[in-house]
Amino acid sequence: MISTVRSLLALALAMTLPGLASTAAAADYPDRPVRVIVGFGPGSSADVSARVVSEELSRILGQRFVVENRPGASSNTAALGVAKADADGYTLFLGSVANVINTSLKTSSVDLQKDLKPVALLCALPNILVVHPSVKATSVKELIALAKADANKLNYGSAGPGTSPHLSAELFKTMASVDMVHVPYTGTAQAAQDLIAGRLQLMFAPASTALPQIDAGNLRALAWSTATRGASLPQLPTVAEAGLPGFETALWFGIVAPADTPDAIRDRLAEAIGQAVKSEAVLKAFRTQGIEPLDGGPAAFARYIAAETARWADVAAKAGLVKP
């Protein structure tokens, strides 16, 4: 009887110790710098969002959160690297709509919910449909007419296959029944440079990239990609208002971690991120970029990812982008 009791106590202790160790690790976390890996280049909306929040996290948690850019394959390269990293909370990944789009397109070997663990949502960023000033279209309807009159003459840029600017344009093509040529880049900044130079005709550009160029007269804005108009250009219609009812796309970003990261560390991070995106410093920086904060911890973020994956799978199927 005594031996049985001892065995049960030992089993209970063995089951409890990992939880205690995890809680203790979370209490000390972080005790050294944390890397936030971004799968897009410097100056991209992903990079800007990560740096703004990382700076505030450094203040809240008392350790540096260092952003590292690893562009390539619509951020799949970076996602794969983080999925294989130590699950100790010191290597994080900026997940985005690009990752769930790639899952929907079956072009990614990394799943944000299986190979990585959702931590917290950060923010969302509208795209703006912009054209080079030489394009003879001042509205969405005129752009559609131009595309129908001369099929495949219009080239549009994106931050890479499977990114939000790419799928936004593919959704536009499907809903408007037009053809345009996709020119993929390794980041938003590079695509925007070629659009400004006139080597491209149009792009669904993140607001943080588009707004300064619109103000400078380098690009002409035709419409917001979101369901509602952005506060920075309230006179600009949405694509849905301008002729394609039901059209809606946006970029979003959130922090994910390697799959075996302890829940206690994820929860601590989620709490700090929630504080960061509500702070005046972050909100002020977001406003200047047209970025909207999002709120949601591990469970809410997981539901968000699942819904977005289903939505973009439907878009990809209708656009004929998924291989049988």
CATH number where 85 lies = 3.40.190.150
Could you give the angle at the alpha carbon of 110 between the alpha carbons of 258 and 96, nearest 5°? 80
d(CA 47, CA 210): 15
* Whether 266 contacts 115, CB under 8 Å: no
Q: Is the pLDDT of residue 21 over 60?
A: no
Same domain, 112 and 156: no
Amino acid at 276: A
Can you give the pLDDT at residue 20? 47
Can you give the pLDDT at residue 102? 84
Same domain, 136 and 81: no
250-297 pLDDT, tens per residue?
889 999 999 999 999 999 999 999 999 999 999 999 988 888 899 999
Amino acid at 54: S
Can you give the pLDDT at residue 186? 80
Can you give the pLDDT at residue 289? 84
Asked if residue 230 belongs to a domain, the reply is no
Q: Is the pLDDT of residue 18 over 60?
A: no
Same domain, 137 and 119: no
d(CA 24, CA 19): 9
Q: Is the pLDDT of residue 170 over 70?
A: yes
Domain finish residue from 205, 224, 243: 224
Does residue 10 or residue 49 have the better pLDDT? 49
Of 324, 45, 9, the C-alpha closest to 205 is: 45
Asked if residue 238 belongs to a domain, the reply is no
Mean pLDDT calculated for residue range 152-174: 89
Q: Is 135 left (phi over 0), alpha (psi -120 to 50) or beta?
A: beta
Q: Report phi then psi at 161, rounded to 5.
A: -60, 135
Asked if residue 164 belongs to a domain, the reply is yes
Can you give the pLDDT at residue 16? 58
Q: Is the pLDDT of residue 319 over 90?
A: no
Q: Is the pLDDT of residue 44 over 80?
A: yes
Same domain, 277 and 219: no
Tally the C-alpha atoms within 13 A of residue 173's C-alpha that lie toward its C-beta: 24
Domain finish residue from 224, 242, 271: 224
Same domain, 213 and 141: yes
Domain of 194? 126-224
Asked if residue 15 belongs to a domain, the reply is no
Q: Is the pLDDT of residue 324 over 70?
A: no
Asked if residue 292 belongs to a domain, the reply is yes
Can you give the pLDDT at residue 200? 97
Q: Is the pLDDT of residue 4 over 70?
A: no
Of 96, 91, 125, the C-alpha closest to 112 is: 96
Task: Report the mean per-residue pLDDT for the chain.
Answer: 89
Same domain, 134 and 117: no
Residue positions counted in the chain: 324
The tally of domains found in the chain comes to 2
Mean pLDDT calculated for residue range 213-232: 94
Block residue for tokens 């880049």: 185
Cβ-Cβ contacts under 8 Å for 312 (sequence gap 6 or more): 97, 100, 101, 104, 167
Asked if residue 26 belongs to a domain, the reply is no
63-107 pLDDT, tens per residue?
999 999 999 888 889 999 999 999 999 999 999 998 998 888 877
For residue 42, count other CB atoms closer than 10 A to its CB: 13
Same domain, 174 and 187: yes
CATH of the domain at 203: 3.40.190.10
Asked if residue 304 belongs to a domain, the reply is yes
Asked if residue 4 belongs to a domain, the reply is no
Cβ-Cβ contacts under 8 Å for 77 (sequence gap 6 or more): 39, 70, 71
Can you give the pLDDT at residue 196? 98
Same domain, 106 and 133: no
